[in-house]
Amino acid sequence: MGAGKTLSAVLATRVVGAGLTVICCPNAVVDNWETEVRNAFPHCEVAKKTWTPEWNHPLTNSPRYVVMNYEQFQQPTSEEKLVAFLDRNIVDFIVIDEIHYAKQRDAGTTMSRRKKLVQGLVLDSGKKNPELCVLGMSGTPVINTLQEGKSLIEMITGHRHDDLETKATVQNCMRLYQRLVTLGTRYKPPYKMQLDEGTRPQVDCGPFLDEIRKVGRGSVLDLERVLTRVRLPAILEHLQHGEKAIVYTHYVDGIVDQLREAIADAGFSVGLCVGGVDDTALDEFKQQDGTIDVLIASSRIATGVDGLQHVCNKLIINALPWTNAQYEQLRGRLWRQGSRFDKITVVIPVTYAVVNGVRWSYCESKLDRLEYKKSIADAAVDGVVPEGNLRTPTQAQQDIMDWLSRLESGEIQVVVRPEIKIPLSGEPSEVKRRVSTYGDFSRVNNRWYASSSQLTHARLASNPEEWAHYHTLYRELRESWVVVPYKEEIRWLMAREGLVVGDFGCGEALLAQAVSERHQVHSFDHVALAEGVVACDIASVPLDDGVLDVAIFCLSLMGSNFTDYIREAHRCLRLDATLHIWEPANYFEDLDAFRDSLGRLGFDVLTPSSEGAFVWIRAVKNTRVPAPALTLPFRGHGG
């Protein structure tokens, strides 16, 4: 962080003698790019946030820069404006700053408008100018998946790299690392200032254990709200009048207000840098003589914000991020080149409790994750061989709460799981054997729909290969679909935060893998393929009443007693919570009758929508008691 990437990029444009340079960057750093260009080369012209730049000296050969924020690539008219811009101009150099803003997270997902158009800018500019230079910049080119790193390489080169496989294996990590090293430069500045990360005040949360137990396996946000109250005295103790400080919290709702009120009551002036708040407080905080003492910040501050190192050398972390990459980005706001301080201090209050003579600590468990340097990101970027995969935040939180329960009860738990891998072997004789034993996709599908869930669950629990065979075929089949229901649910959830989600019939738990950093996901299926999945009959899941915000059925109303699944979802949903159902359109003989019957099960049903070959039904739980003898009209049942 603070490695001088911006100035280096500007210098690179001049080394190659670029006439027109297009810079794509986060909105927060548009002005910084303009400043860097003008300071380094005052004779250059700079235009910002426009597809139709106007130049002061259009007839001269002065170097020109167009600085565009990523939002310009995701508007309804962006494609039309991009095409017109490229018709009028020949681009010599493209800089893609914080390139991970335009990455593609998952293989097979629909490319976002932003990535599609940034990629289009590179490809079409290269067609008009074979000498085009493209420079991508990022402190964290790979964070979650190898697909992200692969997509960045393809964006820069303008070519597909099908030889780069994205399954999380050591070999694939090393291949991506080799390609990144071949195409780029990894630089970590030798900072002169000292970094002190050893200030970790210990805070006893024992008096709050009753509240923590009530949270139980609830959302991470609920737990962080309780622990914020525990940490507040330690946070206040490390604030000093006359010294600026940043207080960071990874979670915001119900936490920022606690922090702001307590810090203001202690006599400090407070500003916010969180989602939905403009940059007024941030800009004031960055002034040496500014009136704001303490800036409360969320993940919004972690990338694209410069200048904090000039005025502040203390970072106090209330709610830690979940990955080392996120933590390094955060720490890098202060520990970066240009700091006027000799020492940067990071303060992390650590909560703990002693339970039956054993120390229990949620905060220390999160710190262990941050110090775990054998992740996919480290392998692909730094060549460090991974030793395993980290649990998702929600899974980790559940593990920590289960640990507390075991300490209190003295329970010792041993779990032995059979190993299941998807997809199964594609060796022809093996495929033939499985099809002969279980049938093709249609046959297995029809058998599961026709049988009761109790019988299917008993059969699959004793022989999970049938389940794995089905999901291997299902993987292959959905590759040809225009609309993939679970991916649509992921998109819906990624636009929201902090929900408790039930995924009924989760399959490979791909939904939980994608959204667990934003939501708590309870995943259920006949077979537990992944950690965190509960193997059960989804007509009876191990959840308390009224705990879910969303219940999702993605092509999972499979079983003659499928109406029982909806009743179970109704039980688990809180009042006014949402039910989502995806099923093939041809499975509904009378969609209006299905909707009306669903209303009799205790839901207000929104108008179903057609999505490709499927119907998406959304409903809201109301106070009506579900009709006991009703069977939904679906696939020949009910009516």
Given this model, what pLDDT does residue 563 score?
95
Residue 170 has pLDDT above 70, yes or no: no
Is 344 in contact with 335 (CB distance < 8 Å)? yes
Is 317 in contact with 235 (CB distance < 8 Å)? no
One domain for residues 213 and 350? yes
Beta-bridge partners for 548: 573
Rounded CA-CA distance 234/347 in Å is: 9
One domain for residues 284 and 309? yes
Given this model, what pLDDT does residue 329 score?
80
Q: Of the spans 100-104, 414-418, 510-514, which averages the highest pLDDT? A: 510-514
Residue at 299 is within a domain: yes
One domain for residues 521 and 552? yes
Residue 143 has pLDDT above 80, yes or no: no
Residue 24 has pLDDT above 70, yes or no: yes
Is 559 in contact with 456 (CB distance < 8 Å)? yes
Domain with 629, as residue range(s), is: 416-639
Q: Of the spans 106-120, 200-214, 396-410, which averages the highest pLDDT? A: 200-214
Poorest-pLDDT segment among 32-36, 427-431, 519-523, 612-616 = 427-431
Q: What percent of the chain has pLDDT over 90?
A: 54
Joined tokens for residue 273: 């840098």
Beta carbons within 10 angstroms of residue 257's beta carbon = 12
Residue 150 has pLDDT above 50, yes or no: yes
533-535/603-605 β-pairing: unpaired
- How many domains does the structure of the chain reveal? 3
Is 613 in contact with 566 (CB distance < 8 Å)? no
Given this model, what pLDDT does residue 207 score?
93
- The 3-state DSSP class for residue 56 equals coil
Residue 363 has pLDDT above 70, yes or no: yes
User: How big is the CA angle at 293 (ends 292 and 295), to the nearest 5 degrees?
Assistant: 80
Where on the phi/psi map is residue 627: left (φ > 0), alpha (ψ -120 to 50), or beta? beta
Poorest-pLDDT segment among 166-180, 336-350, 406-420 = 406-420
Residue 531 has pLDDT above 60, yes or no: yes
Given this model, what pLDDT does residue 536 score?
93
Strand order in the sheet with 350-355: 202-204, 350-355, 358-360
One domain for residues 172 and 309? no
CB-count exposure of residue 157 (10 Å: 0-12, 13-18, 19+)? middle
One domain for residues 290 and 141? no
Please report, in angstroms and rounded to a whole number, the separation of the first and last CA atoms in the chain.
63
Q: What is the CATH number of the domain that holds 23?
A: 3.40.50.10810
Rounded CA-CA distance 259/318 in Å is: 9
Poorest-pLDDT segment among 8-12, 122-126, 327-331, 414-418 = 414-418
Is 147 in contact with 94 (CB distance < 8 Å)? no
Residue at 434 is within a domain: yes
- The 3-state DSSP class for residue 178 equals helix
Residue 303 has pLDDT above 70, yes or no: no
Q: Which H/E stretch holds residue 347?
A: strand 343-347
User: How big is the CA angle at 473 (ends 519 and 475), to the nearest 5 degrees?
Assistant: 35
Mean pLDDT along residues 256-267:
96
Residue 29 has pLDDT above 50, yes or no: yes
Given this model, what pLDDT does residue 591 score?
94
Beta-bridge partners for 316: 247, 347
Predicted confidence band of residue 595 (pLDDT cuts 50, 70, 90): very high
One domain for residues 68 and 205? no
Joined tokens for residue 242: 């006359």
Cα distances (Å, whole numbers) of residue 609 to 340, 588, 597: 57, 13, 17
Find the DSSP H helices in 22-139. 30-40, 78-88, 113-128
Mean pLDDT along residues 183-197:
79
Joined tokens for residue 448: 């599961």
Among the three residues 312, 347, 368, which one is the final residue of a domain in this structure?
368
Residue with structure tokens 């022809």? 428
Among the three residues 183, 217, 249, which one is the final residue of a domain in this structure?
183
Among the three residues 335, 368, 401, which one is the final residue of a domain in this structure?
368
Predicted confidence band of residue 430 (pLDDT cuts 50, 70, 90): confident
Higher per-residue confidence, 636 vs 55? 55
Residue at 450 is within a domain: yes
Q: What percent of the chain has pLDDT over 70?
A: 88
Find the DSSP H helices in 410-551. 428-438, 441-450, 453-462, 465-478, 485-494, 510-515
Sign of CA dihedral 259, 262, 264, 268: negative
Residue 371 has pLDDT above 70, yes or no: no
Poorest-pLDDT segment among 41-50, 58-67, 107-116, 120-129 = 107-116
Rounded CA-CA distance 382/389 in Å is: 16
pLDDT digits (tens, 9 = 90+) for 227-248: 999 999 999 999 999 999 999 9
Residue at 386 is within a domain: no
Residue 18 has pLDDT above 50, yes or no: yes
Q: Exposure string (b/e) for 24-57, b if CB count within 10 Å is 16 or more?
A: bbbebbbebbbebbeeebeebbbbeeebebeeee
Residue type, 290: G
Beta-bridge partners for 501: 521, 550
Q: Which residues contact 633 (CB under 8 A, 6 or more apart)?
A: 588, 589, 590, 593, 594, 597, 639
Given this model, what pLDDT does residue 304 score?
64
One domain for residues 137 and 198? no
Given this model, what pLDDT does residue 374 score?
47
Task: Please state the pTM of the whole predicted model.
Answer: 0.52
- The 3-state DSSP class for residue 535 equals strand
Residue 575 has pLDDT above 90, yes or no: yes
One domain for residues 47 and 120? yes
Q: What is the CATH number of the domain that holds 261?
A: 3.40.50.300
Poorest-pLDDT segment among 119-128, 362-371, 440-449 = 362-371
Mean pLDDT along residues 618-638:
90
Residue at 409 is within a domain: no
Where on the phi/psi map is residue 128: left (φ > 0), alpha (ψ -120 to 50), or beta? alpha
One domain for residues 31 and 149? yes
3-state secondary structure 289-305: CCCCCEEEECHHHCCCC
Poorest-pLDDT segment among 224-238, 262-276, 332-346, 514-528 = 332-346
Residue with structure tokens 């600026």? 244
Given this model, what pLDDT does residue 101 score?
65
Higher per-residue confidence, 367 vs 499? 499
Residue at 388 is within a domain: no
Residue at 496 is within a domain: yes
Higher per-residue confidence, 197 vs 185? 197
Report the chain's mean pLDDT, rounded to a whole number.
86
Mean pLDDT along residues 459-463:
87
One domain for residues 52 and 33? yes
Among residues 162, 174, 578, which one has the least CA distance to residue 376? 174
Q: Which H/E stretch holds residue 176?
A: helix 170-183
Rounded CA-CA distance 440/432 in Å is: 10
Is 381 in contact with 181 (CB distance < 8 Å)? no
CA atoms within 13 A on the CB side of 298: 17
Residue at 387 is within a domain: no
Q: What is the CATH number of the domain that holds 477?
A: 3.40.50.150
Residue 332 has pLDDT above 60, yes or no: yes
- The 3-state DSSP class for residue 526 equals coil
One domain for residues 280 and 337? yes
Q: Of the spans 22-36, 98-112, 143-157, which averages the highest pLDDT? A: 22-36
pLDDT digits (tens, 9 = 90+) for 97-125: 877 666 555 454 445 788 889 989 999 99
Residue 351 has pLDDT above 90, yes or no: yes
Joined tokens for residue 518: 């934003």
One domain for residues 332 and 422? no
Rounded CA-CA distance 616/612 in Å is: 10
Higher per-residue confidence, 57 vs 604? 604
Mean pLDDT along residues 436-445:
89
